[in-house]
Amino acid sequence: MAVKTINTEMLQKMFLAGAANLEAKKEYINELNVFPVPDGDTGTNMTLTIMSAAKEVRALENPDMVSTAKAISSGSLRGARGNSGVILSQLLRGFTKEIREYEEIDVNILAQACERATATAYKAVMKPKEGTILTVAKGAAQKAAELAETTEDLEVFIPEVISYAEEVLKQTPEMLPVLKEAGVVDSGGQGLIEVLRGAYDAFLGKEIDYSAIEAGPATKMVKPSQQVETDIKFGYCTEFIIMTEKEFTEKDETEFKGYLESIGDSIVCVADEDVVKVHVHTNDPGLAIQKGLSYGQLSRMKIDNMREEHHEKLIRDAEKVAAQQAETAQEKKKKEPRKPVGFIAVSIGEGMNEIFRELGVDYIIEGGQTMNPSTDDMLTAIDNVNADHIFILPNNKNIILAANQAQSLTKDKDILVIPTKTVPQGITAVISYMPEADVDTNFESMKEAIGNVKTGQVTYAVRDTHIDDKEIHEGDIMGIGDKGILSVGQSVEETTKEMLGHMVDEDSELISLYYGQDVLAEDAERFAAAVEEIYPDVDIDLHAGGQPIYYYVISVE
C-alpha cells in the first residue's frame, strides 16, 4: 500500500534520524576535506549545525508542523558553523518555510520544499560553486520535481531522489578539479547525503540510535550525586529566577536557550508571565548570570560545584564573584553611551588575541582554524559590543558566511563584515581603520587593504594525498598560501623558508612572523634572524601568536 503523506511526528523522526546519521558519519566526512590539515572539519561543522536544531526539535512539547519547522530553522540558523554548516542551515531554512503551512506533506509539497531549499542556499552564497553541496541539493530538487509528476508514493519518491543525489555527488570531482586531484567527492555534498539517508531510514521504520541528540529544555535535571566526577563535562549547576522588566517573548526564549546551549547543558528555561526559571550546567556561571541580567533582575541564585563534596565556601565565593562581575558589567553597559564604531575579531592564541586588543578590538571570539564559531557566537558578540556600527573580522574563509548570517539576523545595529580570510588580514584591516573617515569609506578602504596582504601558514599533514601537484604524506610539514600549498618538507624552518620564497617579491616591504604555541621563543628568534639574512631589504617583525596547530602564520606586505 502506497504511503502518500508525512505527518509532524514522522517529520520529526526523519529529521532527528538524519541528524543522528550525520553525527555518526562526521569523521568520515572530515576525511574528505581536500586539504590534509588537522583542522579539516566539514563533518564537524555540519554536525554541530544540525544538532543545534535537533536539540530544539527534541525538546518540543505537543509539536505541530509550524513549531517543528520553526525549531529546525531557528536552531540550525543560530548553530551554523563554517561554510558547510551555514549552507546546510539555509537549505533547512528554505525547506521549512515551504512545509510549515501544511498539516501533512505529500510529494508535491516535498518537491516544492526541495526547490525552495536550493534557491535559499544559492542566494546565501555570494559566488556559488558547482561541484559542492549546492550542486547535490540542486540535483535532488530537480529529481524531486520530475518524480512529483509521475508518482504519489513516497516509498518510490524518496529513494529515487536520494539515489539521484548520490549520482550527482559522484560527479563532483569532474566539476571541481581540486576534488579530482585529491581523489575525493565533495565533503559537504556527502554530508547532505548522510542526512537524507538517515531520514529515509526513519521513514522505513528502522531502529535509530538517538542517544547523540540531547534535548534542550526537556532534559531532566541531574543531581550532582548521580554523576561521577570524571564524567562531568560542565562542573557548575547554576539556577536562578529572572524577574523580567519587559515581555519575555518567544524570540527572547529561543535566543536565551541558544545561548545557554553554547555554554553548557542540562538546560531548563520555563517562562510564566513575568518570571523565568533557569537551570543550566556550565563551567562559567557568570556568563549565564550576566546573560540573565539582560532580561531583568535576578533572584534565588544558586550555584553548586558538582565536582567537589566539600565546597560550600567555594559556592558562596563563586556566586558572589560571578554576581558582582555580572552586575558590574551590566551596569557599565547601561551607563556608557553607545559609541559610533566597534570591532569584533575571530582569533585564537593569546598572542594573537592580545594584538587585536591592543589595536582596539572590543570583543574577541575564540575560534578560527580549530573551531569555527557559530552564528550564535557572532550574535552574542554583537550583543556585547555597545556601538551603532560594528565591523566583524572573521579572519577565516570558513567563517565569513556565519558572520554574514549574523549580520542578516541583527536589526538594531549596523553590521559590516570585512571578508578577512586570515588573522594577518584582520590585523591589517584594523590598522587601516581611519577614525576621521565615515563608515562607508572605512569599509571600502579596509577591504582594499586586506587585498595587499599575502598570508602563509605552516602546519602538518594528517593523511596522505596528492594536491596542487604535490605528493603529501601523513606527518609532512606543509606551507599553505592564499591559493594553495606552496611547500612540503620534513623541517618546519626549511618548509617555511621555501614557502616565503614563493611569497616575497621585489615589492615586498614587511614580513610578519607569528609563532605558535609549539614553537619555542628562542627558536623563533633564531629563525627570524635567518629570514632577515635572506631578505635584508625587507623589515622583519616577530610576534608570539600562541596559536595551536600552526607552527607559523606569516604575512608579507
User: pLDDT tens for residues 246-285?
Assistant: 888 888 888 888 899 889 887 877 776 677 878 888 888 8
Q: Which pLDDT score, from 0 to 100, does residue 322 have?
A: 46
Give the model's confidence band at 9: pLDDT under 50 very low, under 70 low, under 90 confident, else very high: very high
User: In which band, very low, low, confident or very high, does the pLDDT at 332 lie, cut at 50, 70 and 90?
Assistant: low
Residue 430 CA from chain centroid, whole number: 23
Query: What mean pLDDT comes out for the span 22-28?
Result: 90
- DSSP reduced 3-state for 108: helix
Burial 440-461 (b: 16+ CB within 10 A, else e): eebbeebeebbeebbbbbbbbb
Q: What is the mean pLDDT of residues 489-500?
A: 94
Better-predicted residue by pLDDT, 399 or 309: 399
Q: Is the pLDDT of residue 449 over 80?
A: yes
What was the pLDDT predicted at 227? 36
Which H, E and C letters describe 188-254, residue by residue? HHHHHHHHHHHHHHHHCCCCCCCCCCCCCCCCCCCCHHHCCHHHCCCCEEEEEEEEECCCCCHHHHH
Instruction: Give the span between the Cα atoms of 80 and 100, in whole angstroms.
Output: 21
What mean pLDDT is predicted for residues 18-43?
Answer: 82
pLDDT-derived band at 313 (thresholds 50, 70, 90) equals very low
pLDDT at 320: 52
pLDDT of residue 231: 46
Question: What are the Cα distances from residue 486, in Å, to 29, 480, 500, 502?
Answer: 25, 6, 9, 7
Q: Which residue did the predictor score with more confidence, 196 or 471?
A: 196
Mean per-residue pLDDT for 392-400?
92
pLDDT category of residue 141 using cuts at 50, 70 and 90: very high
> CA–CA separation, 550 vs 514, rounded Å?
9
Residues 358-379 have a mean pLDDT of 85
Residues 102-125, mean pLDDT to the nearest whole number: 94
**What number is the average pLDDT over the span 198-225?**
66
- Give the closest residue to 503 by CA, choosing from 533, 470, 531: 531
Q: Within a 13 Å sphere around the CA of 344, how many CA atoms are in the beta-carbon half? A: 31
Quick one: the chain helix, strand, coil %, rounded to 5?
Answer: 50, 20, 30
Of the listed ranges 37-41, 90-94, 544-548, the one predicted with least confidence: 37-41
List phi, psi (to 5°) of 391. -90, 130
Query: Kind and range of the H or E element at 417?
Result: strand 414-417
Q: Residue 369 pLDDT more than 90?
A: no
pLDDT-derived band at 437 (thresholds 50, 70, 90) equals very high
Parallel/antiparallel/unpaired status of strands 510-515 and 539-544? parallel
What is the reported pLDDT for 310? 35
Are the beta carbons of 137 and 192 closer than 8 angstroms?
yes
DSSP E strands in 306-349: the ranges are 339-347
Residue 121 is inside which H or E element, if any?
helix 107-124
**Alpha-carbon span 305 to 281, nearest angstrom:** 10
Residue whose C-alpha is closest to residue 271's, from 251, 301, 300: 251
Confidence (pLDDT) at 72 = 95
From residue 139, how far is each of 111, 117, 192, 279, 284 by CA, in Å? Answer: 12, 12, 12, 44, 45
In terms of Cα–Cα distance, which of 475, 549, 463 is closest to 31?
A: 463
pLDDT of the residue at 370: 57
- Cell, residue 316: 558562596
Q: Poorest-confidence range of 157-161, 321-325, 346-350, 417-421?
A: 321-325
Percent of the chain with pLDDT over 70: 89
